[in-house]
Chains A and B, each alone.
Chain A
């Protein structure tokens, strides 16, 4: 790793700007986000107002939170294709347990625990039996989809408890700026995950395992344990995503979030986290999720066909990964 740092530092011949971007990994995505916001603000009369910005954040939080867990897994050079299906299972569990007369808080905690256990199982299969994360989570996606369909009896369940939809509650700042409790909880989760990744030994282990597992092992890091803990923490986050999803659409629907796994990967990758592990972080993911929502909102308001929106997002994803590959090759 130190070589790579040096590469970036001594790259002065490529100009100060390059160094600036290399030292501040979220600068690029952030710049892209700002450019997009400015562009749409100029291009439409409906984009630049506080209600719309509030909507954009509300639209980002479920996928953004799934992407937060996804970021952890991808940092270990894994991938989680089952995250959205676990969260959807969580929404049904919360709802049905409450319908079955458990108090809301108990149902909520049990559902988060269940999400954690399922994700932990993926982690155990990846770390102990050495199965590729792609395969493990692909299988888990099918399993969870089936379990959810069976458990839901194929129907949607209305949410009976106020606590479960509490995250959808709108609050007004200065009587004007709308925000929801879901936005508050999502923000707290992001800050917490940023702190844990940036400031704790566990965070350093996560990066080390994703970057150079062999070197990490030699320095005494328990790779297996770290991997399992990463999936477990991701599972907790998916549980919170489930809670947020009920705040946004107050029914537990077995068919919801079918593309949530891919949407979360998109946010992570656009946010600059490397699919090959060890590089990136949650700040980039927040920005990545917002870029996707801003593009969708702005392009919709310009009256542009959603196929072009998908096209633009797809181009961004490929470009981000291509660039990651290129820089990786250059520095190795």
Chain B
């Protein structure tokens, strides 16, 4: 160890800096946690929310809605998240932290539907009610209840619409998928094909790509696919609106936008605008605000009366388009703009 026992007052400074960093954060506490989330213990009902990531606008909407709902009822909401989609360890840590803070209930959008089951069980053993939002756990009854979009139905809605728009033209489909590890992607994909009236392994799908729901990746994938399938494609399925924007951009570069039907799922305000501008023929709106509010209300009910919800509660999906087709219910983009992610 002689070789190492040297020059190491590194430590002294790191100690000082740590104190500094902690102090710095302490200074910010008073500013950021005005809602009194640090108070803990008795008093107002405290609810925890664990999303997949912090930055995805969809989860931001979910978080803001849950926060507003909790505060309107005189409670507080502590929102935590994983670092990236698939960060099970981060979600487990978040659950442990929330239990430690004495929350009455936890609302979670599980990154990997099975990876967080142990932590959920531990929370439940301590009397915390756990409700899934947006994504069900596997098995679904690992949580008390699930408030989510029925993704298969959402896929089916856009599939039916695309089929109607294609009319008698035989479909030549490109599928912009999510990632095979995410059940949401599989359900929407299958729902879409069902809506089109096609079997799962149909030759009508002439190309597909994994986009992770990311605009840049989708654009790149579509550019590459177009090299192969060229002008044949006449309809594009997209797992979400960012993927659809990426696909649209690639089609635009090739001057194919007029010939290809682009359908999306999500119902974000920007996506509704894309429909209004004619970039997408339609999108399917989900209702994260409703998921968040219903979840928060369920925890309050449980805190007050011990009453628990159960099973899968479909928060609905609505087709948004300015060109309705006969026999399929839809809302126009004006309604969509008012209710985006409502």
Contact = CB atoms under 8 A, between A and B. Distances in A.
B135 interface: no
Contacts of A28: 8-15
A43 interface: yes
Interface stretch (A102-110, A125-133, A295-303): A295-303
A7 B7 CA distance: 8
Contacts of A31: 11, 15
B85 A255 contact: yes
Nearest to A299: B25
B181 A43 contact: no
Contact of A250 (B18, B28, B118): B118
Contact of A248 (B89, B111, B114): B89
Which among B18, B40, B111 has the highest number of chain A CB atoms within 10 Å?
Answer: B18
Interface stretch (A113-121, A184-192, A222-230, A275-283): A275-283
A111 B1 CA distance: 33
B115 to A, nearest CB: 4
B115 A251 contact: yes
A97 B101 CA distance: 39
Interface residues of A, number: 95
B197 to A, nearest CB: 27
Contacts of A291: 18
Contact of B6 (A5, A308, A312): A5
Nearest to A11: B9
A46 B40 contact: yes
Nearest to A28: B11
A32 B18 contact: yes
A146 interface: no
B6 A45 contact: no
B96 interface: yes
Contacts of A40: 22
Contacts of B115: 156, 249-251, 253, 256
Contact of A32 (B4, B19, B28, B117): B19
Contacts of A299: 25
A319 B180 contact: no
A29 B25 contact: no
Contacts of B72: none
A16 interface: no
Interface in B139-170: none
Interface string B63-87: 0000000000000001011011111
Interface in B76-110: 78, 80-81, 83-89, 92-94, 96-97, 100-102
A36 B18 contact: yes
Interface in A252-308: 253-259, 270, 272, 274, 278-281, 284, 291, 295-306, 308
Contacts of B118: 168, 248-250
Nearest to A314: B21
A303 B40 CA distance: 10
B222 interface: no
B88 A256 contact: yes
Contacts of A29: 11, 14-15
A152 B117 CA distance: 20
Interface residues of B, number: 62
Contacts of B112: 156, 249, 251, 253, 255-256
A21 B9 contact: yes
Nearest to B28: A308
B179 interface: yes
A45 B38 CA distance: 8
B75 to A, nearest CB: 14
B210 interface: yes
Nearest to A18: B9
A154 B33 contact: no
Contacts of A30: 11
Given A156-B181, A312-B25, A251 B15 contact: no
B89 A256 contact: yes
B10 A324 contact: yes
A120 B212 CA distance: 32
B273 to A, nearest CB: 28
B104 to A, nearest CB: 14
B327 interface: no
A281 B15 CA distance: 17
A323 B40 contact: no
A33 B18 CA distance: 8
Contacts of A1: 2-3, 6
Contacts of B86: 253-256, 258
Contact of A46 (B15, B32, B81, B102): B102
Contact of A302 (B38, B41, B83): B38
A323 B3 CA distance: 19
Interface of B: 1-15, 17-22, 24-26, 28-29, 32-33, 37-38, 40-41, 54, 78, 80-81, 83-89, 92-94, 96-97, 100-102, 111-112, 114-118, 179-181, 210
Given A25-B10, A296-B93, A319-B13, 18 more contacts: A8-B7, A31-B11, A59-B89, A250-B114, A250-B118, A251-B114, A280-B8, A297-B97, A301-B38, A303-B29, A303-B33, A305-B28, A309-B25, A316-B18, A323-B13, A324-B10, A327-B10, A331-B6
Interface of A: 1, 4-5, 7-8, 17-18, 21-33, 35-36, 39-40, 43-47, 51-52, 55, 58-59, 62, 152-156, 158, 168, 198, 204, 207-208, 211, 245, 248-251, 253-259, 270, 272, 274, 278-281, 284, 291, 295-306, 308-309, 311-312, 315-316, 319-320, 322-324, 327-328, 330-331
30 contacts: A7-B7, A8-B8, A18-B9, A21-B8, A24-B11, A25-B4, A26-B11, A29-B15, A32-B14, A39-B26, A249-B112, A249-B115, A249-B118, A251-B115, A253-B181, A254-B181, A256-B88, A257-B89, A280-B4, A297-B100, A300-B80, A300-B101, A302-B38, A303-B29, A303-B33, A306-B54, A316-B18, A323-B14, A327-B10, A331-B6
